[in-house]
Amino acid sequence: MESNQKTWVIGDLHSCLEEFNELLDLIDYKSSDVRIILVGDLYDRGPFHTETVRRCKELNLECVSGNHEQKFLKWLKNKGSRSDVYSKLSHYDQFSDDDINYMMQMPLYIKIPELNTVVVHAGVRQGVSLENQSVDDLCYTRFLDDKNNFLSLRKIKKIGSLEAAKGHFWTDHGPWDYNIIYGHQVWDEPRIDVFENGTKAIGIDCGAVFGGKLVSYCIETGEFISVKAKKIYYQSTLEVK
């Protein structure tokens, strides 16, 4: 009998709760055949921080940790120290113990062996097993220099351009032995890299919080469903050319 299972992976929410609820309805989230995985960065930048975390927690949704979850947990660990002055966001104090426990239990990656797919927030370092990937690899990677070292957006901006920094996007190091679905880097449309061995890397962050759209991707069917952002909630100063 053919399975009707659908595994939907949803891009960076960044507190865009209204768009998230609209998207959940479109992918039939109440169906027993639907599995939902989030790529992290549930909050910050948008309008509904705690509400978005609690909606995900209420639905018991699977979620990998993003750099914004890591940023909060780092602040939490150092709470009361001098770093608090520089890194605390106003909504951090509004997270309950349950909210924090939900975040602390988020894995850095989720394997889906039956679909030969891995979900991460940002990227995967080539030549390193998943188990040995660092937090920086999985939660922060966008661009690498010509020596395969992490290249920050700030450094690229300081140098002047990605080309001048001898940088390239991490998927240029493919293939991997499995498909990778990730968020973190904002694209106008979902980015699909297809490698010579048939595996893919699929980027699904289309910048809802920046006025783009919130995207979901079905692994089994290759279908994309998205919801247009209701407004521009946040404007970035670190766009890379």
Taking only the tens place, the pLDDT of each residue in 31-61 is 999 999 999 999 999 999 999 999 999 999 9
Which CATH number does the domain housing residue 200 bear?
3.60.21.10
Is the pTM of the predicted complex or chain greater than 0.85?
yes
Helix (H, G, I), strand (E, B) or coil at 207: strand
Evaluate whether residue 207 is within a structural domain: yes
Evaluate whether residue 43 is within a structural domain: yes
Residue 241: pLDDT band (50, 70, 90) is: very low
Amino acid, res. 110: I
Q: How far apart are the first and last CA of the chain?
A: 49
Alpha carbon distance 241, 55 (integer Å): 35
Taking only the tens place, the pLDDT of each residue in 152-163 is 888 898 998 998
> Is residue 207 predicted with pLDDT exceeding 50?
yes
Q: Which residues contact 46 (CB under 8 A, 6 or more apart)?
A: 13, 14, 15, 16, 17, 52, 208, 209, 233, 234
**φ/ψ bin of 40: left (φ > 0), alpha (ψ from -120 to 50), beta (otherwise):** left
Number of domains observed in the structure of the chain: 1
Taking only the tens place, the pLDDT of each residue in 80-117 is 676 665 678 989 999 999 999 999 999 999 999 999 99
E strand or H helix that includes residue 218: strand 213-218
Which residue in 167, 165, 172, 176 sits closest to 191, CA to CA?
Answer: 172
Residue 124: pLDDT band (50, 70, 90) is: very high
What per-residue string of b and e applies to 46-64 under the rule 16 or more CB within 10 Å gives b? bbbbbebbbbbbeeebbbb
* Domain, as residue range, for 26: 6-123+179-228
